[in-house]
């Protein structure tokens, strides 16, 4: 780590601090403020922010508060981190912001299932949360524009759902199904369900939201088109309900996929986390989307053969 000792502008600010063990509530307070300020933990060394007037002021105020709580705090200007490149540091900030944007995306996907008279207040809260994230999105995550677009659409156009009651399964035979690139457990399991219980000859393709094939059936897309998350259900559960798939073992798979995709421990199922980790690992290795989906479907098929339908 190279520390700045002169007036030359340093790229980063590092806050290091300690608090007495008895100051548990104050520790939580400081941690929450660090989260709100967009700081990234740097191992045991402290918390990092890009160096500008706004971040300096925030760290200085935090340091003052820590000292008032009988702790010790220092704000250090840092030129560079010896074991982390600039791109690696920026990636840490990007990953944190991505998780926050994805949380908003998940909420927006559920919005269509909420009564209209309750949507306005939720949208207002989400718009406020979006502004908070943007304020600390120091390196302009590509998800920022996507969430902004989704919010604008939700604020101007009521969400539309595929109605299970009026759905005719025959209309979905011989179709192409489209989803987002880099499929994880929910999309892989959904493709397996489509191929096994809806259309054995179903074909799958990948496209961003704004370039979907005109006649393809969307699934697990961010903007609520086609079949996706509804209420507390993941896409697999939505498809199973919409097409009235009553197979008991598919019901078990639905629970496994739900817990691995939504992290809410609703069913207490752990089997899907390993599958999702494997898919993420393959994705990071650069495996093509089509191969990734096919392998994911094979994993789900093997899981289906292993689970009990009870």
Q: Is residue 53 located within the same domain as residue 9?
A: yes
> What are the counts of helices (DSSP H) followed by strands (DSSP E) for the chain?
10, 8
pLDDT of amino acid 176: 96
Report the pLDDT value the prediction gives residue 208, as an integer from 0 to 100: 83
pTM surpassing 0.85? Answer: no
Q: Are residues 285 and 243 in the same domain?
A: yes
Claim to verify: residue 177 and residue 301 sit in the same structural domain: yes
With cut-offs at 50, 70 and 90, classify the pLDDT of residue 52. very high
pLDDT in tens, 216-267: 999 998 665 789 888 788 999 999 999 999 999 999 999 999 999 888 788 8
User: Do 187 and 288 reside in the same domain of the chain?
Assistant: yes
In a shared domain, residues 108 and 65:
no
Question: Which residue segment(s) compose the domain that 117 sits in?
Answer: 87-156
- Mean pLDDT calculated for residue range 33-50: 92
Q: Last residue of some domain: 156, 183, 212?
A: 156
Domain boundary at 60, 84, 108, which? 84
d(CA 303, CA 230): 24
Centroid of chain to Cα 151: 16
- Tell me, what's the pLDDT at 223? 63
Do 200 and 258 share a domain, yes or no?
Answer: yes
Structure tokens at 158: 């009521």
Indicate the number of domains in the chain.
Answer: 3
Alpha helix positions (H), the chain: 24-36, 53-68, 86-110, 116-135, 143-156, 185-193, 235-242, 248-262, 271-284, 289-306
Q: How many CA atoms lie within 13 A of 235 on its CB side?
A: 28
Alpha carbon distance 218, 185 (integer Å) = 17
The DSSP secondary-structure symbol of 266 reads S
What mean pLDDT, rounded, does the chain reach? Answer: 88
Give the pLDDT confidence score for residue 113 in this predicted structure.
76
pLDDT of 308: 75
| pLDDT at residue 166 in the model | 63
Model pLDDT, residue 5: 42
Domain final residue pick, 137, 156, 175: 156
Residue of 226, 195, 192 whose CA lies nearest to 209: 226
| Alpha helix stretches (DSSP H) within 111-234 | 116-135, 143-156, 185-193
d(CA 145, CA 232): 25
Which of 102, 120, 99 is closest to 111 using CA atoms?
120
Half-sphere exposure of 126 (CA within 13 A, CB side): 25
pLDDT in tens, 93-138: 999 999 999 999 999 988 877 776 677 778 888 988 999 999 999 9
33, 80: one domain: yes
Asked whether residue 169 falls in the same domain as residue 256, the answer is yes
The pLDDT, as a whole number, for residue 278 is 95
Predicted confidence (pLDDT) at residue 11 exceeds the cutoff of 60? yes
Q: 86: closest CA among 12, 142, 5?
A: 12
Are residues 133 and 180 both part of a single domain? no
- Same domain for 80 and 91, yes or no, is no
Measured between alpha carbons, how far is 9 from 50 in angstroms, rounded to an integer?
Answer: 11
Tokens of residue 254, six digits: 């639905």
Residues 131-183 have pLDDT tens digits of 999 999 999 999 999 999 888 888 764 444 444 446 899 999 999 999 999 99
Q: In 10 A of CB 23, how many CB atoms?
A: 16
């Amino acid at each position: 780590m190279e520390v700045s000792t002169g007036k030359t502008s340093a790229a980063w600010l590092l806050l290091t601090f300690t608090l007495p063990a008895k100051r548990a509530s104050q520790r939580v307070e400081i941690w929450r403020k660090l989260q709100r300020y967009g700081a990234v933990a740097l191992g045991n060394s402290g918390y990092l922010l890009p160096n500008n007037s706004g971040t300096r002021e925030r760290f200085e105020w935090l340091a003052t508060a820590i000292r008032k709580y009988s702790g010790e705090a220092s704000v250090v200007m840092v030129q560079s981190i010896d074991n982390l490149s600039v791109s690696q540091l920026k990636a840490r900030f990007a990953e944190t912001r991505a998780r926050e944007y994805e949380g908003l995306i998940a909420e927006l996907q559920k919005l269509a299932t909420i009564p209209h008279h309750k949507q306005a207040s939720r949208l207002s809260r989400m718009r406020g949360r979006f502004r908070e994230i943007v304020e600390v999105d120091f390196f302009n995550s590509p998800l920022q524009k996507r969430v902004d677009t989704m919010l604008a659409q939700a604020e101007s156009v009521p969400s539309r759902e595929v109605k299970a009651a009026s759905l005719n399964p025959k209309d979905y035979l011989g179709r192409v199904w489209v989803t987002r690139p880099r499929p994880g457990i929910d999309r892989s399991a959904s493709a397996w369900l489509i191929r096994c219980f809806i259309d054995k000859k179903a074909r799958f393709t990948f496209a961003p939201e704004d370039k979907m094939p005109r006649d393809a059936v969307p699934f697990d897309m961010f903007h609520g088109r086609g079949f996706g998350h509804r209420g507390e259900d993941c896409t697999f559960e939505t498809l199973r309900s919409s097409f009235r798939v009553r197979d008991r073992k598919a019901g078990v798979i639905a629970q496994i996929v739900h817990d691995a995709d939504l992290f809410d421990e609703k069913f207490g199922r752990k089997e899907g986390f390993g599958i999702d980790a494997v898919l993420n690992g393959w994705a990071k290795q650069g495996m093509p989307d089509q191969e990734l989906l096919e392998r994911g479907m094979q994993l789900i098929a093997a899981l289906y053969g292993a689970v009990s339908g009870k």
